[in-house]
Chains A and B, each alone.
Chain A
Amino acid sequence: MHGRKAYELVKEFADGEKGHLKIFNNELFERVIEECNEHHNALQSLIRKMQEEGLEVQTARNADHYGALIHHLSLIRNKRCLMAYVYNRAEIIRELAWKVGLLHELPGEIQEKFSDSEEQYFKDHSKSLKSYMSQLSLDVNVDMVPPKDPYIKVRVLEDLGSGIILSDKSANFARHSMHFLKRTDAEQYVARGLMEELTG
Chain B
Amino acid sequence: MASGAGEWSAEQIDDYETLISTTDVELLKRAWRNEKASPEILPFEEALVKRAKEQIQLMEETVDDFAESGHDPLIASLYQMDLDRAQFLLRSYLRVRLQKIEKFMFHIWKMDTYRNRLSIEEEKFTERCIRDIGKYLEETVLSKLPDNYQSVLKQSIISEEDDMVPEPQLDTFVVAKCERATRPLYLDGSRQSASFDSSRDDHFQMVPGDLCILRYRPFQEELMSGNISLV
Interface residue ranges, A against B (CB under 8 Å): 33, 36-37, 40, 72, 75-76, 79-80, 82-83, 86-87, 90, 94, 115, 117-118, 120-121, 124-125, 127-129, 131-132, 135-136, 138-143, 146-147, 149-150, 183-184
Contact, CB under 8 Å: B146 / A75: yes
Q: Which residues of A contact B55 (CB under 8 A)?
A: none
Give the residues in chain B near A124, CB-CB below 8 Å: 128, 132, 135-136
B110 close to A (CB within 8 Å): no
For this complex, into which size category does the number of interface residues on chain B fall? 35 or more
Establish whether residues A75 and B149, one from each chain, have CB atoms under 8 Å apart when the complex forms: yes
CB pair B146 A40 closer than 8 Å: yes
Which of chain B's residues have a CB closer than 8 A to the CB of A121?
132-133, 135-136
- Nearest chain B residue, comparing its CB with the CB of A34: B144
For A76, the chain B residues whose CB sits under 8 A away are: 149, 155-156
Counting chain B CB atoms within 10 Å of each CB, the highest count among A124, A128, A184 belongs to: A128
Scoring B residues 136 to 174 as 1 if CB is less than 8 Å from chain A, else 0, what string do you get? 110111001110010000011000000010000000000
Point out the residue from B90, B122, B139, B149 that lies within 8 Å of A36, measured CB to CB: B149
Q: Is B132 a contact partner of A128 (Cβ separation < 8 A)?
A: yes
Whether A33 and B149, one on each chain, are in contact in the complex, defined by CB atoms closer than 8 angstroms, is: no
Contact B136 A120 (CB under 8 A): yes
Closest residue of chain B to A149 (Cβ to Cβ) is B81
* B116 lies within 8 A of chain A by Cβ: no
B48 at the interface (CB under 8 A from A): no
Inter-chain contacts of A79 with B (CB < 8 A): 141, 145, 149, 155-156
In the complex, are the beta carbons of B139 and A150 less than 8 A apart?
no
B46 within 8 A of A: no
Distance of A100 Cα from B144 Cα, bound (Å): 31
B94 contacts across to A, CB distance below 8 A: 136, 138, 140
Check A138/B53 contact, CB under 8 A, given A33-B145, A36-B146, A79-B149.
yes
B137 in contact with A86 (CB, 8 Å): yes
**Which residues of B have CB within 8 Å of A150?**
77, 80-81, 84
B51 CB–A CB distance under 8 Å:
no
Report the Cα distance A141→B122, complex, angstroms. Answer: 15
Q: How far is the CB of A199 from chain B (nearest CB, A)?
A: 18
Would you call A90 and B121 a contact (CB within 8 A)?
no
Q: Which B residues are CB-close (under 8 A) to A36?
A: 144-146, 149
Chain B residues with Cβ below 8 Å from A138 are 53, 90-91, 94
Q: Does B220 contact A (CB under 8 A)?
A: no
Q: Is B95 an interface residue (CB 8 A)?
A: yes
A117 vs B91: C-alpha distance when bound (angstroms)? 30
Closest 6 pairs between A and B when the two form their complex, measured CB to CB: A40-B146, A128-B128, A121-B136, A124-B132, A147-B84, A117-B139
- Give the shortest distance, in Å, between B194 (CB) and chain A (any CB): 42
Question: Which A residues are CB-close (under 8 A) to B135?
Answer: 121, 124
Cβ of B91 and Cβ of A33 under 8 Å apart?
no
CB distance from A193 to the nearest CB of B (A): 21
A98: shortest Cβ distance to chain B, in Å?
Answer: 8
A128 touches B136 (CB 8 A): no
B14 interface residue, CB < 8 Å from A?
no
| Distance between Cα atoms of A36 and B90 in the complex (Å) | 47
Closest to A147 in B: B84
A33 to B155, CA, bound (A): 15
Q: Give the CA-CA distance A183 to B88 in the complex, in Å.
A: 12
B201: shortest Cβ distance to chain A, in Å?
Answer: 43
The residue in chain A whose Cβ has the minimal distance to the Cβ of B149 is A79
- Tell me which of B85, B95, B102, B164 has the highest count of chain A C-beta atoms within 10 A of its own C-beta: B102
The answer to whether B125 and A128 touch across the interface, beta carbons within 8 angstroms, is yes
Complex Cα spacing A126 to B65, Å: 35
Question: Would you call B124 an interface residue if the criterion is a C-beta within 8 Å of the partner chain's C-beta atoms?
Answer: yes
Q: Which of B91, B133, B137, B139 contacts A139 (CB 8 A)?
A: B91
Within the complex, the shortest CB–CB distance from B119 to chain A, in Å, comes to 9
